[in-house]
């Protein structure tokens, strides 16, 4: 892969991938519980130091191993490894986890008085403090942090801007304010607020926030006899494993890992377009509903439900492309095990909520680690036949406004209706759009929301820069046989045979 086109690879990224790769190899070799402690040898007395000492490094690494096994951070890693190879996925676990040993270095005092303080005589910072936490010594203001309640009055009062506000990177990245400092001054996640988008993982400069993985459990299924395991590749798979790596080479690599078949999720996108467009026409254009919001991004769906609950009934009832494609596979091959592979962490949440409809969700990063563990380089493989079965619109789903464009193309062709839509990407923009609509400032009938800035192409599990993926995805979409989802005969047929309504809405 050309380095200029890779997503940023930090030391933390390298450690995460090293752990996932070693766990994958041990799982394939069948010796994971006996050799899991070998991973701790990543840290040696003479290895590069990220923290104070070998013991601290290994304490953090143990927690990282447990999270990579999909389990609690405080388990003994041998016991955790035994659970991972012998028990099914624990779907009760929150996908995003804080590593307590890793979270300890961020500043914890929210406000600080800097050297910009000019020793003024009015002392507005002190006079405006409701808790009298600010005193003046030798003309210079000081904060008593045992008394300070972090109200911010001092910052607003200082005429010189000498009081600065210090935000933790993880808190700053979380636009739904799910992260806060706990009693032990370590980050805590409010699970009732968090939408599990994964933004905090990339923001933490100490690698103290991670996502749970289930690659070990998946490998047990890949190794089992008489099991059909399908890899369902998200549309943005093109270019993820190298600039010149073809879809056929990626398919070959997946089959070498043990996958029985490899399918496009873009076909599921076509199914979603057909169902969601018809839902829009029925509910909004011909019904009493004023707005329909997209249902493809699970983090956006969670954002609407938790942070704009008055609009929860506006969320489309249609399943996402991932679930639609999985349901089509299971309809045609009962008993099949389905594995979504894409750029998204939040898809793991959706898989947790649809246990009977999708078995696993992996990121492109996790799939790459599995390939590396087996010495598989897609660029060196002979390509298998791979012809896109989706429409151009289905392939374009992960791009900016890809969903609303596809829905509009369908409604214009089959109903002569133009959709009055609005697109927002990044949770900050999504929250603003939801508020603006509720305040009457946004005159729309369809809202497409994506939790990641720049859409799915910039998901936290991506391997390549979104600009490159966008170019390659357009090139791939140009090879499809049809442009509009409604012209995809396979998708039209599957929509008639599978239930396209999200299961958890009926619970």
pTM as predicted: 0.92
3-state secondary structure of 361: strand
The CATH number, out of the four listed (2.60.40.10, 1.10.238.10, 1.20.1250.20, 3.30.70.20), of the domain defined by the range 111-167: 3.30.70.20
Q: Where are the alpha helices (DSSP H) in 342-449?
A: 347-353, 364-373, 392-395, 402-415, 427-438
User: How far, in whole angstroms, is CA 53 from its chain's centroid?
Assistant: 32
Rounded Cα distance between 110 and 97, Å, is 23
Say if residues 45 and 57 touch (Cβ distance below 8 Å): no
- Specify the pLDDT at position 184: 78
- Specify the pLDDT at position 48: 62
Say if residues 232 and 341 touch (Cβ distance below 8 Å): yes
3-state secondary structure of 425: strand
Domain with CATH 3.30.70.20 in the chain: 111-167
Which of the 8 DSSP states describes residue 374?
A: T
SS3 of 317-334:
CECCHHHHHHHHHHHHCC
Rounded Cα distance between 234 and 395, Å, is 9
Say if residues 113 and 142 touch (Cβ distance below 8 Å): yes
- Which tokens sit at 89? 């996925």
- Specify the pLDDT at position 140: 86
Using a 10 angstrom Cβ sphere, with 0-12 exposed, 13-18 middle and 19 or more buried, the burial of residue 83 is buried
- Specify the pLDDT at position 504: 57
Say if residues 361 and 322 touch (Cβ distance below 8 Å): yes
- Specify the pLDDT at position 319: 96
Q: What is each CA distance from 151 to 111, 129, 145, 156, in whole angstroms?
A: 9, 8, 12, 10
- Specify the pLDDT at position 313: 95
- Specify the pLDDT at position 372: 98
3-state secondary structure of 422: strand
Q: What are phi and psi of 113, to 5 degrees?
A: -95, 120
For residue 418, what are the contacts with CB-CB under 8 A and spacing of at least 6?
A: 408, 411, 412
* pLDDT averaged per 10 residues, the chain (length 507): 64 94 98 94 71 82 96 95 95 94 80 91 91 89 91 94 90 93 86 95 93 97 94 94 92 98 96 98 97 96 96 96 97 96 96 94 97 97 93 92 96 97 96 97 97 92 91 91 95 95 62
**Position of tokens 């969670």?**
302
């Amino acid at each position: 892969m050309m380095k200029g086109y890779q997503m940023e690879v930090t030391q933390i990224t390298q450690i995460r991938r090293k752990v996932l790769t070693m766990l994958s190899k041990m799982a394939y070799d069948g010796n994971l519980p006996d050799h899991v402690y070998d991973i701790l040898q990543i840290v040696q007395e003479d290895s590069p130091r990220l923290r104070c000492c070998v013991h601290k490094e290994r304490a953090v690494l143990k927690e990282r191993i447990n999270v990579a096994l999909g389990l609690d951070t405080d388990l003994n890693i041998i016991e955790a490894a035994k659970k991972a190879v012998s028990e099914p996925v624990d779907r009760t676990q929150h996908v995003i986890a804080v590593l307590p040993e890793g979270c300890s270095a961020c500043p914890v005092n929210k406000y600080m008085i800097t050297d910009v303080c000019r020793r003024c005589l009015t002392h507005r910072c002190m006079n405006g403090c409701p808790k009298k936490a600010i005193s003046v010594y030798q003309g210079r203001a000081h904060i008593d942090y045992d008394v300070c309640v972090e109200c911010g009055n001092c910052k607003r009062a200082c005429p010189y801007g000498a009081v600065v506000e210090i935000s933790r990177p993880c808190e700053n990245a979380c636009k739904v304010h799910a992260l806060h400092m706990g009693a032990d001054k370590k980050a805590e996640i409010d699970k009732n607020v968090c939408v599990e988008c994964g933004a905090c993982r990339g923001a933490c400069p100490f690698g103290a926030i991670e996502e749970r993985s289930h690659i070990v459990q998946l490998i047990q299924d890949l190794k089992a006899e008489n099991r059909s395991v399908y890899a369902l590749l998200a549309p943005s798979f093109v270019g993820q494993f190298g600039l010149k790596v073809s879809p056929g080479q990626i398919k070959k690599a997946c089959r070498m890992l043990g996958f029985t078949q490899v399918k496009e999720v873009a076909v599921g996108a076509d199914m979603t377009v057909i169902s969601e467009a018809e839902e829009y026409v029925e509910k909004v254009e011909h019904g009493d509903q004023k707005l329909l919001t997209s249902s493809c991004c699970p983090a956006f769906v969670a954002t609407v439900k938790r942070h704009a609950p008055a609009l929860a009934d506006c969320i489309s009832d249609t399943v996402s492309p991932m679930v639609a494609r999985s349901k089509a596979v299971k309809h045609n091959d009962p008993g099949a095990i389905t594995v979504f592979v894409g750029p998204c962490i939040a898809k793991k949440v959706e898989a947790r909520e649809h246990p009977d409809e999708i078995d696993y969700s992996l990121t492109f990063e996790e799939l790459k680690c599995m390939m590396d563990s087996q010495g598989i380089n897609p660029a060196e493989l002979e390509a298998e036949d791979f012809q896109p079965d989706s429409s151009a619109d289905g392939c374009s789903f992960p791009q900016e406004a890809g969903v609303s464009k596809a829905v509009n193309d369908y409604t214009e062709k089959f109903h002569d209706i133009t959709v009055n839509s609005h697109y927002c990407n990044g949770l900050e923009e999504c929250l603003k759009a939801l508020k603006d609509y509720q305040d009457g400032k946004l005159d729309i009938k369809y809202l497409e929301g994506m939790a990641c800035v720049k859409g799915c192409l910039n998901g936290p599990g991506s391997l390549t820069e979104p600009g490159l993926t966008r170019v390659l995805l357009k090139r791939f979409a140009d090879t499809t046989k049809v442009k509009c989802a409604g012209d995809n005969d396979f998708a039209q047929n599957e929509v008639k045979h599978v239930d396209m309504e999200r299961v958890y809405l009926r619970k």
